[in-house]
Amino acid sequence: MRILLTHPPAARANYYGDAALAQLSKFGDVVLNESAGPLGRAALLAKAKGCQIVVSDRQTGADAEFFDSAPDLVAFLRCAMDIRNIDVAAADRAGVLVTRATAGFIDAVVELGFGMLVDLARGTSAAVADYRAGRKPAVRMGIQLSGATLGIVGLGAIGRRLARLTLAAGMDVAFWDPAPRDVPAGAREMPFDEVLARSRFVVCLAPADESTRDLFDSRAFAAMRPGAYFINLARGELVDEAALAAALDSGHLAGAAMDVGRAPDQMPSLALAGRADVVATPHIGGLTPEAVQHQAFDTVRQVEALCAGRMPDNTVNAAMATRLSRLGLRVA
């Protein structure tokens, strides 16, 4: 078996790791991407030549032209959950299997989010920045999280975990989700606008799709209570960044925090991240050894299954993956 791992060196170190790479190498000849950044289509096609399996990082897209021009490819495995830059319909037509990894980053993202809550409430980053610059920080009154209302928009796995943690810390938790399930005891469901109006802190954890693009726009920010704080831990496309900047400029919002934005690789935009009233991190919510190894080893197990002639877990289009017959698998 010939396997292409698309992660460039820095991403390979951070988002795949030596242990997973060593295990992956047991199942075939692993081709590495040694370029400085993500592979474009032409480079991806050149690297994938002769490879039956591609294990891809989140920045490496696969469009119709790629699938149409990769006759050796049997499976395209995403070492992440987000597959929006993979043309699954084109993979279907080519008979190529597409898989994804599972969410091993829930605790890591929630812990970062809780840290952002504390930072916004107490001005920690601002004080540290002043001290490091040789300035005496202003002494500001903080906000006690216990008793404050947290609004969670999107009660998925991360939202539920955050709700349980903040409820345990004494916060009042309100949430909005079109189809909530496994609602933590004590969390209160409300309409979207009511969650915004009641909450001192609002956390965006909604899934990103066409229905939620710019979910947080000028109207949504205007619906938030004056002096509230906004946190985005989901995807940059959910937020109209000009509207967020305007809400901060006007003083309607007291501050914001973000781990994602509309810069490349879902990074926060520099114009927002550099503001004094914003706490920003460079898309590191899931960047812990535990979270990274979880997703990397998901792909290792998928390759192991394919090499053994078994259908792997977490497939996206198993019924259309006719090229699996090359590995001795039958598609129903």
CATH of domain 2-104+289-327: 3.40.50.720
Provide the sign of the torsion angle of the four alpha carbons 117, 120, 121, 126, taken in this order: positive
295 vs 24: CA distance, rounded Å? 13
Provide the sign of the torsion angle of the four alpha carbons 141, 147, 149, 152, taken in this order: positive
Q: Are 175 and 166 in contact (CB under 8 A)?
A: no
**Residue 313, helix vs strand vs coil:** coil
In tens digits, the chain (332 residues) has pLDDT values of: 999 999 999 999 999 999 999 999 999 999 999 999 999 999 999 999 999 999 999 999 999 999 999 999 999 999 999 999 999 999 999 999 999 999 999 999 999 999 999 999 999 999 999 999 999 999 999 999 999 999 999 999 999 999 999 999 999 999 999 999 999 999 999 999 999 999 999 999 999 888 999 999 999 999 999 999 999 999 999 999 999 999 999 999 999 999 999 999 999 999 999 999 999 999 999 999 999 999 999 999 999 999 999 999 999 999 999 999 999 988 76
Predicted local distance difference test score (pLDDT) of residue 159: 98
Of the candidates 60, 65, 42, 62, the residue with the CA atom closest to the CA atom of residue 5: 60
Fold matches, 2-104+289-327 and 106-280: yes
Other C-beta atoms within 10 Å of 70: how many? Answer: 21
Of the candidates 159, 166, 153, the residue with the CA atom closest to the CA atom of residue 183: 159
Q: Hey, which residues does 150 pair with through a beta bridge? A: 173, 201
Burial 307-329 (b: 16+ CB within 10 A, else e): beeebbebbbbbebbbbbeebeb
Beta strands in 16-107 (DSSP E): 29-32, 53-56, 75-78, 97-99
Calculate ∠ Cα 230-113-300, nearest 5°.
130
Q: Are 115 and 108 in contact (CB under 8 A)?
A: no
Of the candidates 273, 295, 290, the residue with the CA atom closest to the CA atom of residue 116: 273
| Architecture of the structural domain at 106-280 | 3-Layer(aba) Sandwich (3.40)
117 phi/psi in degrees, rounded to 5: -60, -50
Predicted local distance difference test score (pLDDT) of residue 304: 98
The CA distances from residue 169 to 165, 172, 308, in Å, are 6, 9, 47
Q: Hey, which residues does 151 pair with through a beta bridge? A: 174, 202
Predicted local distance difference test score (pLDDT) of residue 330: 80
Spans of all domains in the chain: 2-104+289-327, 106-280
**For the CA atoms of the chain, what is the radius of gyration?**
22
**Residue 293, helix vs strand vs coil:** helix
Q: How many residues does the chain have?
A: 332
Calculate ∠ Cα 62-108-149, nearest 5°.
115
